[in-house]
Chain A
Amino acid sequence: MNCSVIVRDEFAERYVLGRLSLAEQEAYERHYFECDRCFGELQTLQAIREVLRAAPPTLPAPNQDRVWTPWWRWLAAGAVAASLVGVVLLLRPPGAPEPVAQNPARASSIRPPAAVGGTDVATDTATSRPEPVNSPATASRRLAVLAQLARVEPPRYSPRVLRGVTDEATLRFREGMEAYSGGDYPIAVQKLSAAATADPSRPDIAFFLGASELLSGDTAGAVRELQRTIRIGETPFLEEAHFYLAKAYLEQSALDLARTELVKVRALHGEKGGEADAILAQLASLPSD
């Protein structure tokens, strides 16, 4: 038994819930008697459990308890809303400006939230002539938007406290993350590659290796490592791996693949969901190729 298996098979959680077989229990105990990291995990998990037990979260109503509105009521509500809009339009004084939503030209000119490198990439089609789809100006705007969307902020890394003996993978990982924290991504790639060779099953190593490759310009390497992080399975790095993989695809102008990854990020309802939504919206409003 080793740390990777313990993390992968959630031994700590199954132990505190009393769900290990006797043989598994004994093997796990033998391991944590000699392993700081795994005993630390166990203690932390147990403490979290105690805190949760003492102060349960305020429970929002679960889905089955929700009162579902029959479809015909929504239909009725829609009809009422539509008639209200009609009344407002009828009451609008003559010559008053048309509401934005009624102006398809304006409604379609969604401005990206941020100007790209000081360049205003949106076109106000209400005041300017629409440009040909394949014009050089459109193409350059498209490239500018894509460059902006592909920009990467280094994923956050919380350095951890090290005690005692370390294995080869952890030593290389620590060296790699020191370089990463200092912004030296090529060195980080070198060290993290060594760490990944020593322990290919660790998602933290795979993820930060992928991120470092992305940040040092090796997009193909980043794609490979981030895909590997995702293949490792349910880990705390899954959502970020999808997100940064989308960034790598954007860098490669592989927009469909990027969209697919961003949709997966959104489906995970995590911290990156908002950013994924924003990028998807910008991709939707991107000038055609």
Chain B
Amino acid sequence: MIAPESETGGVADDTLLGERIRHGDRAAENELVVLYSGRVLAMAMARVGDREAARELVDDVMMATVTALRRGTVHDTARLGAFIHGTALNLVHGHLRARGRMPRDDGSGLEPTTPDLAEACEKDSDMQALRTCCALLPAQDHQVLFMSLTEGLKPGEIATRLGLSAEVVRQQKCRALKRLKELMNGASRKDLHEPHSSR
């Protein structure tokens, strides 16, 4: 589901979760998967660009993590996120090598890959709510957001197309995103008691 905008910017401490998994707690394993699979999928999609392969990689990464935790070979269980990210990177690189593709280098001159996570990460009800919220945006804000997020245009380019200044475009974009998040926060607060799929 869409995570309501959280003010949690700190590093999560997963020590307890890691310990529970090490002692064979199956519910803790499920919690781990729920907490991290969205992140691994986001990363795998960004780097591999193939949904099926990304899903397989998520399974592999989560299985490798759980196995390592069960065996007690994870040294710093307080920062499982870092461990899982490292595992995911290794497996993604392995996958790309096997496919005969190296990870892209510094990004210049290469076609951007775009992760397509919404379908996997979001519930239908959230997406419907988001669609409704988008429809409530002022037309020009909506258009600026569209040009920015789907066409990848920069504020100066959008400004030229719409006959506005780049500063106005940037402000409209900021405002539209803020408004959408506020609307989504309002919508999410209705079902606050529902567990989040993101951590």
Contacts and interface: CB of A to CB of B under 8 A. Distances in A.
Contacts of B156: none
Contacts of B81: 33-34
Nearest to B106: A21
Contacts of A29: 43, 46, 85, 89
B11 A165 contact: yes
The number of chain A residues touching the other chain, given as a range, is 35 or more
A17 B152 contact: yes
Contact of A37 (B9, B39, B189): B9
B104 interface: yes
B34 interface: no
Interface in B153-199: 161-165, 167-168, 170-172, 174-175, 177-178, 180-182, 184-186, 188-189, 192, 196, 198-199
A43 B38 contact: yes
Contacts, number: 236
A22 B12 contact: no
B53 interface: no
Main SS at interface, chain B:
helix
Shortest 3 CB-CB contacts between residues of A and residues of B: A18-B112, A63-B163, A40-B3
Interface of B: 2-13, 36, 38-39, 42-43, 46-47, 79, 81-82, 84-85, 89, 103-107, 111-119, 121-122, 126-127, 130-131, 134, 139-140, 142-143, 145-146, 148-150, 152, 161-165, 167-168, 170-172, 174-175, 177-178, 180-182, 184-186, 188-189, 192, 196, 198-199
Interface of A: 2-3, 13, 15-23, 25-26, 29-30, 32-60, 62-64, 158, 160-167, 170, 173-174, 234-236, 238-239, 267-271
